[in-house]
Chain A
Amino acid sequence: MSLVLKKGNEVVGEAAIRSGCRCYFGYPITPQSELPEYLARRLPQVGGVFVQAESEIAAINMVYGAASTGVRVMTSSSSPGISLKQEGISYIAASQLPCVIVNIMRGGPGLGGIQASQSDYFQATKGGGHGDYRLIVLAPSSVQEIADLVKEGFQLADTYRNPVMILGDGILGQMMEPVDLGSGDVGELPDKPWAARGKKGRRSRNVINSLYLDSEKLEQLNLSLQKKYRLIAERETRAETYLTEDAQIVVAAYGMTARICKEAVDMVRKKGIRAGLFRPITLWPYPEKELRLAAQHSQAVLTVEMSAGQMVEDVRLSLNGEVPVEFYGRLGSMVPSAGEVFEEIQRISKKIGEVK
Chain B
Amino acid sequence: MALVFDRPKSLTDKKFHYCPGCHHGIIHRLAAEALDELNIQQKTVVIASVGCSVLAYDYFDTDAVQAAHGRAPAVATGVKRASPESVVFTYQGDGDLASIGMAEIVHAAARSENITVIFVNNAVYGMTGGQMAPTSLMGQQTSTSPQGRSAESNGYPIRVCELLATLDGPSYLARVSVHDPKHVREAKKAILKAFQMQIQHQGFSLVEVVSTCPTNWHLTPVEALEWLEKKMLKQYPLGVFKKIEGVE
Contacts and interface: CB of A to CB of B under 8 A. Distances in A.
Nearest to B113: A51
Contact of A88 (B54, B57, B68, B80): B68
B74 A57 contact: yes
B74 A58 contact: yes
Interface string A204-245: 011111110000000000000000000000000000000000
A49 B42 contact: no
A69 B66 contact: no
B64 A58 contact: no
Contact of B64 (A22, A71, A196): A196
Interface string B81-123: 1110111000000000000000110110001000000000000
Contact of A205 (B61, B66, B83): B61
Contacts of A210: 66
Contact of B66 (A22, A23, A55, A211): A211
Given A54-B107, A198-B45, A91 B82 contact: no
Nearest to B72: A61
A198 B66 contact: no
B47 A197 contact: no
Interface string B39-58: 00111110110000011010
Mostly helix, strand, loop or mixed at chain A's interface? mixed
A309 interface: no
B82 A66 contact: yes
Interface string B216-238: 00000000000000000000000
A210 B68 CA distance: 10
A73 to B, nearest CB: 7
A208 B43 contact: no
A23 B84 CA distance: 12
A68 B62 contact: no
Interface string A48-79: 01010111011101111111110101000000
Contact of A62 (B41, B57, B62, B81): B81
A65 B79 contact: yes
A59 to B, nearest CB: 8
B149 interface: no
Nearest to B44: A198
Among A198, A207, A211, residue most surrounded by chain B Cβ atoms (within 10 Å): A198
A54 B103 contact: yes
Nearest to A205: B63
A62 B74 contact: yes
A51 B114 CA distance: 14
A94 B44 CA distance: 23
B175 interface: no
A207 B48 CA distance: 10
B54 A211 contact: yes
A59 B77 CA distance: 10
A49 B55 CA distance: 30
Contacts, number: 137
A67 B12 CA distance: 25
Given A65-B65, A91-B68, A206-B63, A197 B75 contact: no
A68 B78 contact: yes
A65 B62 contact: no
Contacts of A58: 71, 74, 77, 103-104, 107
Contacts of A154: none
A209 B66 contact: yes
B31 interface: no
A201 interface: yes
A208 B64 contact: yes
Nearest to A197: B83
B240 interface: no
A206 B64 CA distance: 6
B81 A51 contact: yes
Contacts of A53: 74, 107
B74 A198 contact: no
A270 interface: no
Contacts of B62: 198-199, 205
A69 B82 contact: yes
A87 interface: yes
A66 B67 CA distance: 12
A25 interface: yes
Given A198-B86, A207-B63, A209-B57, A87 B78 contact: no
Contact of A198 (B57, B63, B81, B82): B63
A200 interface: yes
Given A57-B104, A65-B76, A65-B77, 17 more contacts: A25-B78, A55-B103, A57-B74, A61-B71, A61-B75, A61-B78, A64-B67, A66-B78, A66-B81, A66-B82, A68-B45, A69-B82, A69-B86, A88-B71, A198-B86, A199-B41, A199-B42
Interface of B: 12, 41-45, 47-48, 54-55, 57, 61-68, 71, 74-83, 85-87, 103-104, 106-107, 111
5 contacts: A54-B104, A61-B78, A65-B75, A205-B64, A211-B55
Q: Which 8 A-B pairs have the closest CB atoms?
A: A65-B78, A198-B43, A61-B74, A62-B78, A66-B82, A66-B78, A65-B75, A196-B63
